[in-house]
Chain A
């Protein structure tokens, strides 16, 4: 099975994230780059599918040169090879353009299943899986917390506000995962050393057959008009326990859909 896992490098969530004042794009130099957390679950699921059904796991990343660190980590976890889509012309691309660029890159790698995290911690649009499946003309299974593959059939549980839906599709398909799906493995020393020797193919716009007029900040369909720092956190709500404290807390948690 040809499993492609989409991995995005994002600024470390531990550090404050910033937009650049000149072009309102993400200031990637301001923070260390790490693998988008949900993508780690996608990598783990890809490896599990490979272990159960055989095949090969390809990591596909679109991002600047320093994203190679994240690619190495994904390879150290056990992926077989990687494709790195890197070109200055891609800088500032929005979700719509990113889905186009990835579609083009997937045209080179081929795929039976594309797995990705349900959203990235930086942009948090959560739309890439849907856009990509539309472009590719294949089924989308989003927000999956359980995936089973049987031949060319894929069954999944999709997280919803009221519980989960059971959905089924036929491969090839695009699957986005949530953090409840598995427990990502830690790379072992052997894995880290083996990753050094795994192939990483670097693709520019021309290599991937991407039309430069359809990507990049200048051609984006969306625009950041304005931005501001998040307001300082206000004081939390204090519940005075008059014998009903537990009920009030449960009520609050239920209103936020935590329970």
Chain B
């Protein structure tokens, strides 16, 4: 099994990272949370131009996939940038429709591949269903929103109850884990930067061991989660996929949540500030911790597979 990314996969990830950094993603996330979807939709269109969505759609429907490793690598970058919107849901819906087939697949997969369709998926709540062109239940059937809106810990996430509900798909769980890993990585980087810059008692706070140890713990957790994520992506289509995806989700949930808690401590009071960008990741890390199945549920799934 080859875990190392190819030159092409790395270049694709770098491209997305640069695009998302140049595109003012944090501002789009804030606007999205405030109900203004226009900057988020423009960002969606830019991301679509890179061909990301086609990677989750089979060739017969105008895609190039499904390519789990490439999609995971890309979603990590979306997590790293705190991009708002149902990216994971749309990509997971594409994979689900690819398996269920039928007329919905024929109609929607080409549009998803082109990046023209925003899709939400009930797991059991449908993220940003009000901004979606199509809402699916867990079985991949078109579903109606019941109107019951749940607030999330992340103001950029609005959760809608859907008739029929549904369980998370393995592919979606994998992508959520990728998003979490990206968030954790971003939080570690911003915390390390801050620890190097912020001075107290005449020296950079990062020189104090109490901080170094916490940051090192975050790095260890993220590093341990990454091979589980890559391994799970490579296991797509094998009987071990479900188990490996759950293992990756547990590790990514714990790592990104630890990264969020540590970032908050390292930053001190400013970490609580809404206007300061790390708040975007901190809240998303907590919200995703229990989305697409809690760590306890995924631990149980790993346990059952052993």
Give chain A's interface residues, CB within 8 Å of chain B: 69, 72-73, 76, 186-190, 192-193, 195-196
A186-B15, A186-B18 known; A192 vs B8 contact (CB < 8 Å): yes
Q: How many residues of B contact A (CB 8 A)?
A: 16
Interface centre among A69, A73, A76, A186 (most CB of B within 10 A): A186
A189 contact from B7, B19, B51, Cβ within 8 A: B51
B77 on the interface (CB 8 Å rule)? no
Min CB–CB distance A38 → chain B (angstroms)? 16
Taken together as a complex, chains A and B put the C-alpha atoms of A188 and B15 apart, in Å, by: 8
* 0/1 string, B10-48, CB within 8 A of A gives 1: 011001001100000000000000000000000000100
Measured CB to CB, the closest approach of chain A to B204, in angstroms, equals: 16
Is B54 part of the contact surface with A, judged by Cβ < 8 Å? yes
Contact between A188 and B50, CB atoms less than 8 A apart: yes
Task: Assess the B11–A186 pair: CB atoms within 8 A.
Answer: no
The interface residues of chain B lying within 8 Å CB-to-CB of A76 are: 11, 15
Main secondary structure, interface of B, reads helix
17 contacts between A and B (CB under 8 A): A76-B15, A186-B19, A186-B46, A187-B11, A188-B50, A189-B12, A189-B50, A189-B51, A189-B54, A189-B55, A189-B64, A190-B54, A190-B64, A192-B12, A192-B15, A193-B8, A195-B8
Chain A residues within an 8 Å CB radius of B46: 186
Please report whether the interface of chain A is mostly helix, strand, loop or mixed according to DSSP.
Answer: helix
Q: A193 contacts which chain B residues (CB < 8 A)?
A: 8
| Distance to closest chain B CB from A76 (angstroms) | 6
Q: B18 contacts A189, CB within 8 Å?
A: no
Q: How many A-B residue pairs lie within 8 Å, measured between CB atoms?
A: 37
Q: How long is the Cα–Cα vector from A186 to B12 in the complex, in angstroms?
A: 9
C-alpha spacing A190/B115, complex, angstroms: 14
Let me know if B8 and A196 touch, CB within 8 A.
yes
- State A12–B50 Cα separation when bound (angstroms): 23
List residues of B whose CB falls within 8 A of some A CB: 7-8, 11-12, 15, 18-19, 46, 49-52, 54-55, 64, 70
Q: Closest residue to B65 on the A side, CB-wise?
A: A189
CB-CB nearest in chain A for B14: A73
Q: Which of B11, B19, B64 contacts A73 (CB 8 A)?
A: B11
CB of B294 to closest CB in A, whole Å: 33
- A residues in contact with B55, CB < 8 Å: 189
> Pick the contact of B15 from A69, A187, A196 — CB < 8 Å?
A187
A-B CB proximity, top 8 nearest:
A189-B51, A188-B51, A186-B19, A192-B8, A186-B15, A188-B50, A187-B15, A190-B51
Q: Shortest Cβ distance from A108 into chain B, in angstroms?
A: 27
Most B CB contacts (10 A, CB to CB) among A187, A188, A189, A190 go to A189
Contacts of A73 in B (CB 8 A): 11
A195 to B6, CA, bound (A): 13
In the complex, chain B residues whose CB is within 8 Å of the CB of A190: 51, 54, 64
A72 contacts across to B, CB distance below 8 A: 7, 11
In Å, the complex CA distance between A73 and B18 comes to: 13
Residues of A within 8 A of B7 (CB): 69, 72
> How many Å from the CB of A106 to the closest CB on chain B?
27
Partner pick for B49 among A69, A188, A192, A196, CB 8 A cutoff: A188
CA gap between A50 and B51 in the complex, in Å: 22
Q: B8 to chain A: which residues have CB within 8 Å?
A: 192-193, 195-196
Among A72, A193, A195, A196, find the residue whose CB has the most chain B CB atoms closer than 10 A: A193
B250 CB to nearest chain A CB (Å)? 30
